[in-house]
Amino acid sequence: MAAAAPKIVIIGAGFGGLTAAQFLARAPVDVTVVDRHNFHYFQPLLYQVATAALSPADIAWPIRSILRRQTNATVLMADVTGIDPQARLVHAGDVTLPYDILVLGTGATHSYFGHPEWASAAPGLKQIEDATRIRRKVLLAFERAETTDGADEQRRLLTFVVVGGGPTGVEMAGAIAEVAHHALPAEFRHIDPHAARVVLVEAGPRILPTFPEDLAAYAQKALERMGVEVLTSARVTNCDERGVDLEGSRIETGTIVWAAGVVASPAGEWLEVERDRAGRVKVDPDLTVPGHPEIFVIGDTAAAVDGEGKAVPGIAPAAKQMGRYVAEVIAARASNRPAPGPFRYRHQGDLATIGRKAAVVKLGNVHLTGFIGWMFWGIAHVYFLIGLRNRAVVAFSWLWNYLTYQRGARLIVDSAKAQESAGAEKARPQNSPAEPGRKSGRDQVPAAGNDWR
């Protein structure tokens, strides 16, 4: 009788986990993909959902649909609660999954640097739920300002603070400014959305610290032309429902968006192995856990280094490269072929958009800015979306927004109670895939720019 095919369990259907599953399509293995959601989503465009440029369905796809033609793959929607490395078992609620090889691509969640109580006042942007929550807060700020008589309260409601000057923070600040200055001014009668104040707070000496200085300087000037106040060397000391405290000052605001850092999922705790200060599992050159050659860790969950000893950034291209590499190693083992050499990360470029006709792009020694950079950014993002339908919808939405200055996804649909419950949930440590594989930590340290694939 033929030996049973090795059981491969992949936890997290993000960029890394999904890529690994897809590249195992022809391997003699049985693949089980486990994720707490039934969809994979394109995190680089979450901020566009948060600022009403796109709807969630425009950037998300059912995992079962993506893998429907892959006969050796099974998809389970489940919340992973623990792993038994000795028994080689994954515990996911009422389901227990045995494995021969385990791939962990459980991503990352928000890091509040020891202040989890800030989460309810300053939501981060890692999942679809985060994006819709932030969209609701932004739109409700204008609605409440319209019905408020007090000038001080109106001013507070129309002040938006984005904490963190990495790509996510820069894109969020620019997008909120565009909503206020272009999409809404003609629609309100008692307030002037042009008067909205958008503040980008960065603890370091400059924004986009992983980009070259000339591109970071261009991005700051572009933001300032849009009316965004950029505060550098400004450390946040407290966040609450009515404002943000900085060292020596306070900003009264009704909307705070957290884009300052990430921490890895609890995968390292499940395994009880060595982790770095961000909670990422320290892995061997072949992305396996030391002492456990049957366990691979990829994406934001892994503290990996490249061939030169540099930390692999927590971005989508890195997660995809890790997923493909791990699939090649697993396929080689299953076919009794020599495994490839150590993982080598190939950096493919850094991208961040600031707003209408403004972006920064670094491709090797080539730097693009302005309209050309913005077009390159848009084409790259549309190209790497999954599915022709989503590419067409996103491209048309962007064209419509560009021509009309409008944003068509401005629905406030979630109840306040539901949003508050979601915020409370975010304040607790996560115990399963925090995002699909990458959905990766674009703004963690160390990092290397935008996550555009």
Task: Indicate which residues carry an active-site annotation.
Answer: 171
Contacts of 101 (CB under 8 A, 6+ apart): 6, 7, 8, 9, 29, 294, 295, 296, 330, 333
Question: Looking at 224-344, which runs of residues are DSSP E strands?
Answer: 228-231, 236-240, 243-246, 249-252, 255-258, 262-264, 281-282, 288-289, 292-297, 302-303
Contact between 142 and 193 under an 8 Å Cβ cutoff? The reply is yes
Quick one: tokens of 451?
Answer: 């996550």
Closest CA to 255 of 188, 197, 316, 325: 197
Phi, psi of 88 (to 5 degrees): 55, 60
Cis upstream peptide for 212 (omega within 30°): no
Contact between 324 and 20 under an 8 Å Cβ cutoff? The reply is yes
What's the CA gap between 319 and 438, in Å, rounded?
Answer: 6
Contact between 216 and 173 under an 8 Å Cβ cutoff? The reply is no
127 CB-contact burial (10 Å; exposed 0-12 / middle 13-18 / buried 19+): buried
What's the CA gap between 162 and 129, in Å, rounded?
Answer: 18
Helix (H) or strand (E) holding 362: strand 358-363
Q: How many CA atoms lie within 13 A of 241 on its CB side?
A: 3
DSSP class per residue in 63-129? HHHHTTT-TTEEEEE----EEETTTTEEEETTEEEE-SEEEE---EEE--TT-GGGTTTS-B-SSHH
